[in-house]
Structure 1
Amino acid sequence: MARRSLVLLLSSLAVAVLSILQPASAQSAWLDEFTTDGEVRADFDATGKQVASLVLDRSSGAGFNSTQKYLFGEFSVEMKLVPGNSAGTVTSFYLTSGETGKGDDHDEIDMEFMGNSSGAPTVLNTNVWASGDGKKEHQFYLWFDPAADYHKYTIIWNDKNIIFRVDDVTVRAFRRYADLPYPDAKPMAVHATLWDGSYWATEKGNIPIDWSAAPFVVSYRGYTANACVASEHGKPSCPAGRNEWMDRELDDTDRLTVAWARRNCLQYNYCEDGWRFPEGFPGECSRE
């Protein structure tokens, strides 16, 4: 009798646990909205959030990209980067219109994390491309260890500006000017990748990947896209009542955090790189 009661109790507990976990898992299956490339490990963490882990080894990198394309929106994800010696690796979260190749006219908004040798600060590279016009990088040293735990990274994109945020702290805004290129017409998909950037990522390529430490793994969770879904015909479909990002510009708090990031974390600003622009800086540099 006692054994039967124990079995019934365990069965009841199992049903209760499943009833708690299943809805959370179903709601968290954001990876279903993406196609994958390379080795992508999908799992759920203890809180029911879906985790997508990208794996880089000698044979290949990995990535995923959204099946939908968007025209403006707010895009966020939590990431835990490669631990230890990640020199030469590049981890990314970005939007692109998908037209690639030298001399093309694609649009793109980048958050790229450049690997480092153990103990060195991690560099976040932010960049904007409009109709093939790029070279607008601001690079920041992160003020925490991004491999020790998950941190939230956000891109807000509307017809006024592009805002980059780290753990809900605004570090950069790229403003729109009527007479300068700006990504406002080409729908873009969301991408995440982990790849070998040995020629560029760490100290301008001086420190390549140490393949003896492979495989390298970076994890993503908590992805959200509050955005206008592009349509092949007609206007984009925008979420009713959830489009506060459409008019989002810097407020007083944002301006303070941008100034703080410039003073304490900014380690490269294209508007100060005269060697790169011998004929003069891009037009927006004199208006910031």
Structure 2
Amino acid sequence: MFSSHKASTMLILPLFVASVMTTAAGNFLQEVDITWGGPRAKIYDGGRHLTLSLDKDSGSGFQSKKEYLFGRFDMQIKLVPGNSAGTVTTFYGKGNREQQFHLWFDPTKTFHTYSIDWTPQSIKFLVDNIPIRVFRNWETIGIPYPKSQPMRVYSSLWNADDWATRGGLVKTDWTQAPFTASYRNINVNACVVSSGSSSCGSQFTNSMQSGQNDQGLDAKSRNRMRWVQSEYMIYNYCVDFKRFPQGVPAECKRSRFL
């Protein structure tokens, strides 16, 4: 999860996931379906841009038309500007392993690129190509890892003033509605799964499983991730002992920077 310095707008990137890889760039008409919110979600400019809006009655959201098993997903997003406390913009899947960050820039001023890079060995989260988090495959110590279930990419804009702003103390100012987040330049370079078969084929999948296509983080990238996590992380499930009174998940005992 991310929030800006100058606004309470948040972007959530919880743990997800969504050569012969399918590559698609820039067209929302081809890549996504509007799933809720009706006219609050709009695709325009021939599919090059998309906006999600939130008013007092409803938010809005979309999902990828296809399911994927491994790949990289990039999207440029400009978060809700102004006094948007209580609103949450998401680009996500599911996993319940959240980390939250105050970004080092104001994400409401212009577009920035948010990326998820998913291989059998790790899931990397990047902002403007700077890694901010890596969730590694620790199946060897009993940690579930998504490597067989195809996933979709989701994004939404919704009201979360019951928890997102100082535990719900600050409520959404509906006089500022509608709130709007903007999207452009969706780019998918991933293996499409249809009827149980991957577009990448068994040879590519086997090489992915063996780690041949996962280059990990180099020393410079690890240092940049350390900088982000030490300076801008505001929540880490690994130190939330109230949430995990019986002990934090096992992966929390491993280094975040390997």
Q: TM-score, normalised to structure 2's length?
A: 0.79
Determine the structure 2 residue equivalent to 1:84: 82
- SS in structure 1 at match of 2:253: helix
Q: State the structure with bigger RCO (CA 8 A, min sep 6), 1 or 2.
A: 2
Cα separation, 1, equivalents of 2:80 and 2:127: 17
Letter in 2 for 1:205: G
| Residue pairs, 1:1-288, within 5 angstroms | 28-36=26-34, 37-38=36-37, 39-44=40-45, 50-95=48-93, 108=94, 129=95, 134=96, 136-178=97-139, 179-234=142-197, 236-238=198-200, 246-288=213-255
Instruction: Summarize deviations over 1:246-266 as a string: whole Å, max 9, x none.
Output: 414222122111110121101
- SS in structure 1 at match of 2:217: coil
Cα separation, 1, equivalents of 2:86 and 2:61: 17
Cα separation, 1, equivalents of 2:187 and 2:236: 29
Q: Gaps spanning 5+ residues in structure 1: where? A: 1-26, 96-107, 109-128
Larger radius of gyration: 1
Contact 1:54 1:63 in 2 (8 A): yes
Does the C-alpha gap of structure 1 residues 145 and 187 become closer, same or farther in structure 2, counting only changes over 3 Å? same
Q: Offset of 1:49 from its aligned partner?
A: 7.7
Cα separation, 2, equivalents of 1:165 and 1:138: 13
Contact 2:77 2:112 in 1 (8 A): yes
The runs of at least 4 aligned residues of structure 1 exceeding 6 Å deviation read none
| Identity %, equivalent residues | 43
Q: Gaps spanning 5+ residues in structure 2: where? A: 1-24
Letter in 1 for 2:105: F
Instruction: Summarize deviations over 1:162-195 as a string: whole Å, max 9, x none.
Output: 1010011111101111221111121111111001
Contact 1:158 1:248 in 2 (8 A): no
Moved more, 211-220 or 277-286: 277-286
Determine the structure 1 residue equivalent to 2:3: none
- SS in structure 2 at match of 1:86: coil
What is the aligned residue count?
A: 220
- SS in structure 2 at match of 1:254: helix
Contact 1:78 1:221 in 2 (8 A): yes
Cα separation, 1, equivalents of 2:182 and 2:189: 21
Superposition CA RMSD, Å: 2.2
Q: Offset of 1:233 from its aligned partner?
A: 2.9
Instruction: Summarize deviations over 1:204-263 as a string: whole Å, max 9, x none.
Output: 2211211110000000000011001012233x11298xx999414222122111110121
Cα separation, 2, equivalents of 1:258 and 1:94: 20
